[in-house]
Structure 1
Amino acid sequence: MQEPVILPVPVFSTLANAAFALRREVFVWEQKVPPEVELDHYDLEATHFAAIAEGEVVGTLRLVYLREHVKIGRVAVRQHFRGRGIARKMIGIAMDHARAQGHDRFYLGAQSDKLEFYRSLGFVPFGPEFIDGGMPHRAMRDYDKDSARLAD
């Protein structure tokens, strides 16, 4: 497989629509997240990224710019393309994009079984486990790491 091309895409573009379809495939169909939870008001203001390989959108994520940090979310990779480093590459490119705009504090809500992946990217978990979309999650951040504490 050739390296995927990863780029920001406008929210109402053909590529963004393909990214939303991929999110539906991964979160709603595979992981059984309720459709009304998967899409939210942040989708209209977020910066969306698409990973394109073999002529199709195979990965996506979004950045939501909040006052205290940039939230990385809705990270999804098509099942057939998992294990090839696409999520890692997307996150790196998205964070570089935000850094180029002067942002350097990142946050995400990780599915609890994905903590080690996000730790490998420099994030630390904090706070209590919580349920999102019917699955256990942990808040994670890449700043103020020394004060990050888990609570259960």
Structure 2
Amino acid sequence: MSDPVIMPVPVFSLLCNAAFALRRAVFVWEQKVPQEEEHDDYDLTATHFVALVEGEVVGTLRLIDLPEHTKIGRVAVHQAFRGRGIARKLIAAAMAHARERGQDRFYLTAQSDKLGFYESLGFVAFGPEFMDGGMPHRAMRDYDKQSAVLVD
């Protein structure tokens, strides 16, 4: 497998629509997230990223600029391409892109079984576990780590 090409794409472009299809496959079909919860108004204003391997969209995520931080969300990798570092490369590229624009505080909500992955990227979990899309999640951030407290 060649290294993935990671790039931001305009909303509703052909590549972004392929990313939306990948999200639907991963979240709605595979993980059983209700379809009405998969897309939201942030999709219109987010910066969307794709990972391409040999012309195919195999990974995606979005960045949402909020006043207090940049939220990383909707991280999805095609099932056949998991375990190859694509999500890690996508997140690194998206964070580098945001840092170039002066944003250096990142937040996300992770499926609870993925905490170790995000911890390996420098995020810490905080607050109570909560349900989102029918799965347990934790809020995570890469700033103010010393004040991050888990509540169970």
TM-score interval for Structure 1 and Structure 2 normalised by the shorter chain: over 0.9
Match of 1:88 in 2: 88
Q: TM-score, normalised on structure 2?
A: 0.99
Query: 2:142 aligns to what?
Result: 142
Task: Tell me the number of residue pairs that the alignment of Structure 1 and Structure 2 aligns.
Answer: 152
2:106 match:
106
Paired residue type of 1:142: D
Deviates more, 1:48-57 or 1:23-32: 48-57
Indicate whether 1:15 and 2:8 are aligned: no
1:25-75, Cα deviation, whole Å (9 max, x unpaired): 000000000010000010000000000002210000000000000000000
Match of 1:57?
A: 57
Structure-1-length-normalised TM-score:
0.99
Amino acid aligned to 2:107: Y
Alignment match, 2:79? 79
Aligned mates of 2:2, 2:131 — CA distance in 1: 36
Counterpart AA for 1:25 = A
Unaligned 5+ runs, structure 2: none
What is the Cα deviation at residue 12 of structure 1?
A: 1.4
Residue 26 (1) aligns with residue 26 (2): yes
- Structure 2: distance between partners of 1:40 and 1:84: 29
In structure 1, give the amino acid aligned to 2:141: R
5+ residue gaps, structure 1: none
Amino acid corresponding to residue 76 of structure 1 in structure 2: A
Report how far residue 148 of structure 1 moved.
0.1
Query: 4+ runs of 1 displaced by more than 4 Å?
Result: none
Identity level (%): 77
* SS state at 1:143 partner: coil
1:36-55 mapped onto 2 (5 Å cutoff): 36-55=36-55
2:119 aligned residue: 119
| Cα distance in 1, alignment partners of residues 38 and 26 from structure 2 | 10
